[in-house]
A and B are shown apart, each in its own frame.
Chain A
Amino acid sequence: MARKKKGFRDPLFDPDHRLFSPPSAECWHGVCLRSQVPRGRVIGMVHPPLPEGMRLYGPDDIPGNESFQVNKVRFPLLSHNTVHYIGEPLFLVVGEAEAVVRAFAFQVRFVVVPEQNEPAAGITRFLSRGVVPENSEGSGFRVVESSFSSGAQDHGRFDALEVLAHVTQGTVAVKVRSQWPAHVVSSVARALDLDPAKVQVLATTTAGVTGNQVWFPSLYAVYAALLSQACGKPVVLRLTRQEDFHVSPKKPECKTFLKSLVASDGRLLSLSAQLELQTGAWPVMAEEILDRALVGLLTPYHLPHFEVQGRVQTSPTPPRGPVGTQGEGLGLFALESHVDDICRELDIDPVRWRQQNAVVVGQPWFTGLVPKTENPLRWLLAETSKATDFSRKYAAYGLLSANRKNLASEALPLKGIGVASAFQGNGLLAGGNPVHLEGRLDEDGQLSLYIPLVSPNERQSELWKAQAAATLQIPQTSVRICPVFTGEHPTGGPSLASRAFEMVPRLIVQTCEALAQKRLKQALPVTVKSVFRRSKTPPWDSEAFTGQPFLSFSWCSAVAEVQVIPHRAEVEIVRLTLVVDAGPRVDEAAARNALVEGAQMAVGWALTEVFHFDVSGHDSGYHRYRLPGPRELPPLAIRFLEGSKELRPRGLGNLGAHAMAPALFNAIRQALGSSLPSIPVSRKMLDEALREPVGDL
């Protein structure tokens, strides 16, 4: 039986894909007019005469709510008269010919009076647990202090953002690459003052796991929809790659100071840390990222006492986002680098130290919960060490490093090896919206699955179909994954790959088992709706940092072996090894692909991708930004830890990134015999380190 809600087209029964793919000749083109300064008060706009047919669109033209909202954070869609960051959209312009619109936009100048604006409210966290052991004289305890910074990172995807919006007769159709279609719906509806049921969104498959398409596309979907409403035409709003580079969310810059109290046998007794994240003008998703960064610091090792402070810092630069990590990678980088400092101080093998201090059965996590299954970290480290001959090389390269002066005169490369452990938290700390899934089995035997989370790629979609077909014992060709048209089906975004990976298969099995039961009792068609419920563990408390933070954890250990080439001031990566425990692999090729992707991101973050803002708010430039090239990306040896007790497959897309960055950093520091303060390790830093007098690290 066809279902139709008045005024809403269900594409399954009444498809009208023309709404989402109008002929290009019909589309008009929208461009953002942006502030050229980082802060101040706008008192005017200077532009050439507006060509015929083109239209300017300002904050006063917005019919609905003038603010854009992501969770608790709100900021202006188009700022009235205050500039908050360089590149902030202040006006929009739309016209028929893209080249003409862009040429006009290029000549627009805003007149801004410099003023110090009120910064957005910061976010802070303070956590303290346990008892500080007394560091009395003769106790043999050692205090180790470290301080590290990590830089911003661009998503690095080549295809920049493009949105198509078409407003006709009070309904809006939007086509956009987004991990959170429901947010697109609600944002567009808010701004255009429409019922959300009037907004249809086709979210196309996102490319990869960089995670920067969570909220950013919604903002531009709103702009495109506003322009379409104003001019009565379908509107394409496309960022050039350079424009995207300047304004799209970057991985936040992070500074961490750590201080540990360690017993002479290597036991970690106490960790205190201060972590500061840069979030740009608006702290969008900053709470999630900050909390995850702190979880990154606190999770892997047993901490009898800890005290951590986290802070989010704002600045007049574009807002940051979850790129390459949802947050725990930031804390893990600092922690794993600090652990190497501890090992050097105590002259302990870094693999042995990590194994000694990993949380084991019987010891509580930082949350106070006691793990029921063994933490695989010790086995992962053992496997990695064996596969790479880590301990022998670490000792040998350490000796070479001490003799650096002699090596320099022979112009030989400087060798180093580094290890790191890491984990990935699957799902969202904050939970995200409830995830529903609807399945309908029709008389013709076709199964339609309305899946609310966007599939990360086509292979994943095929796996879901295969799962459904196997559960219902129907041919896979009879299963269709319905496009994410919002409207009738509630959506539960944002669609992180790990969230989709863990929740959707369970929901599919649940739904199909229920359909199988129902079809025995009722005539077709039959429909079942399921909602995902987390297992009965204490829920996460973001104030107290207690409870179960994620759906699950995946773990890995990484070793990087490098050579620093003094005559080129370059790092040559000799070998990268990852050993992973993420449960059984549903799709081995996709799993390896994701790990390689993550490791590549780590290489870029640690070595080549330099991105920073200067005091005037300008970034270091698209032409200076370099993804790692083939000489910097050796083959990655990947092993999966077999015999893990965890029977369910878990997400692993960020593991490569989380583990490889600190492993590389530790390897480079050993090679140089130098305490580098930050990543990326640029050529300039290498040059300075090579000129340092050789001494203790």
Chain B
Amino acid sequence: MDTIEIAQPLLYGPRTLSETLAFLLANPGSQLIAGGTSRAAEAPVAVTLHLLDDLKRITSGDRSLDVGATAPLSALLSLPDTQIPVVLKEAIRTIGTSGLRNLATVGGNLCQKGTFGDLFPVLLLLGAQLELRGQRSSRWVSFQDLAEQGRLSLAAGELLTKIRLPLEQPGLHFYQKIGSYRTSWEEKLSMVCLASPKNGLLSRFRLVFSLPQLGLLRSRELEAELTGRRLPLPRQERDASLARLADFLAELPILPSVFQTERILHLSRWVLTRLDDD
């Protein structure tokens, strides 16, 4: 058997953001290591971000919360409920264990290979934005744009530095995650729903599902149909909406599994029966 010499990776541990951005521009294709949950350095050149205090900060303003890309998930759980949307906390609590949440980062959850991560649908509905910075550039990208593009595209030398989320709390929120990494894909999905009942009317309604093989599922028609409806929703209207949702699912180019379809319908029914809970 021939032995193959595996070159040791070049590891770079910058301490400031400007150093980091300069290095990334000069070394495109570098592997970024944040919390480390994506394992060890595998590429020839790796940049570890753990020394960058700039990226760990969480700053709250009057209307928004800025979360550094390498802030650990547990730091968000420690925030009082008035300073972070509670639905985001619920989503974070379903990720890993308490020890893992001390290590895993918000940015890392969003930048997993081939998938958007558990927090993406929540941040999408909350209307969050991402800050991407290069050595000489800075831009904000909405989660809505990301969802439409289907992936996070970074220009050469760019780095995800911050996630900004509005602090406005929806009236009602629902989060459900079914399955874990031990579950096969056909039985995994998550749901986020934000709703704002006001004066007996459903003034805002947003509902999104995330499936491993399909990504995000969102029926704008259903959302539009239900927005402005009087609460509580009569059973007939509920059933009619669910029937239309079933049709929507049946017409998707890639179908969810039978299990997923059933859960989507059950979860939607569950949410709709609770919209008048104030």
Interface residues of chain A, those whose CB is within 8 Å of chain B, are 48-49, 107, 409-411, 566-570, 623-626, 683-684, 687, 690-691
Contacts and interface: CB of A to CB of B under 8 A. Distances in A.
B78 interface: no
15 contacts: A410-B273, A566-B266, A567-B266, A567-B269, A567-B270, A568-B263, A569-B178, A569-B262, A624-B184, A625-B182, A683-B183, A683-B187, A683-B259, A687-B263, A690-B266
A626 B182 contact: yes
Contact of B178 (A409, A568, A623): A568
Contacts of A624: 182-184
A303 B184 CA distance: 45
B193 to A, nearest CB: 12
Contacts of A691: 262
A625 B182 CA distance: 7
A625 B178 CA distance: 16
Which of B1, B258, B273 is the most central at the interface, judged by chain A CB atoms within 10 Å of its CB?
Answer: B1
Contacts of A570: 178
Interface string B168-191: 000000001010111110010000
B269 A409 contact: yes
A410 to B, nearest CB: 6
B239 interface: yes
Contacts of A48: 1
A409 B239 CA distance: 8
B187 A684 contact: yes
B176 A567 contact: yes
Contacts of B273: 410-411
A567 B175 CA distance: 12
Nearest to B179: A683
B88 to A, nearest CB: 20
A567 B178 CA distance: 9
List the 8 shortest-distance A-B pairs measured between CB atoms, nearest first.
Answer: A48-B1, A567-B266, A411-B270, A567-B270, A567-B267, A411-B269, A411-B273, A626-B182
Contacts of A623: 181-182
B35 to A, nearest CB: 21
Nearest to A410: B273
A99 to B, nearest CB: 13
B235 interface: yes
Contacts of B176: 567-568
Nearest to B239: A409
A312 to B, nearest CB: 31
A569 B270 CA distance: 13
Contacts of B181: 623
A347 B274 CA distance: 36
Interface string B247-267: 000000000001100110011
Contact of A49 (B1, B187, B259): B1
Contacts of A411: 266, 269-270, 273-274
A48 B4 CA distance: 14
Contacts of A684: 187, 259
A409 B235 contact: yes
A107 B258 CA distance: 40
A687 B182 CA distance: 18
A111 B274 CA distance: 61
B258 A687 contact: yes
A570 B270 CA distance: 14
Which of A409, A411, A624 is the most central at the interface, judged by chain B CB atoms within 10 Å of its CB?
Answer: A411
A567 B191 CA distance: 11
Nearest to A608: B182
A628 to B, nearest CB: 12
Nearest to A412: B273
A684 B188 CA distance: 11
Nearest to A687: B259
Contacts of B182: 623-626
B164 to A, nearest CB: 32
B241 to A, nearest CB: 13
Interface in B1-24: 1
A648 to B, nearest CB: 43
Nearest to B266: A567
B199 to A, nearest CB: 25
A449 B230 CA distance: 80
B239 to A, nearest CB: 7
B238 to A, nearest CB: 8
Contacts of A568: 176, 178, 263
A623 B180 CA distance: 11
Given A569-B187, A625-B182, 8 more contacts: A49-B1, A409-B239, A567-B269, A568-B176, A569-B266, A623-B181, A683-B183, A687-B262
Given A48-B1, A409-B235, A623-B182, A569 B259 contact: yes
A559 to B, nearest CB: 28
B277 to A, nearest CB: 12
Contacts of B258: 687
A434 B270 CA distance: 62
A625 B184 CA distance: 11
Interface in B186-228: 187
A570 B183 CA distance: 13
Contacts of A690: 262, 266
Contacts of A409: 235, 239, 269
A569 B179 CA distance: 10
Nearest to A48: B1
B96 to A, nearest CB: 12
A568 B264 CA distance: 9
A691 B266 CA distance: 11
Contacts of A683: 178, 183, 187, 259
A623 B181 CA distance: 8
A372 B274 CA distance: 59
Contacts of B270: 411, 566-567
Contacts of A49: 1
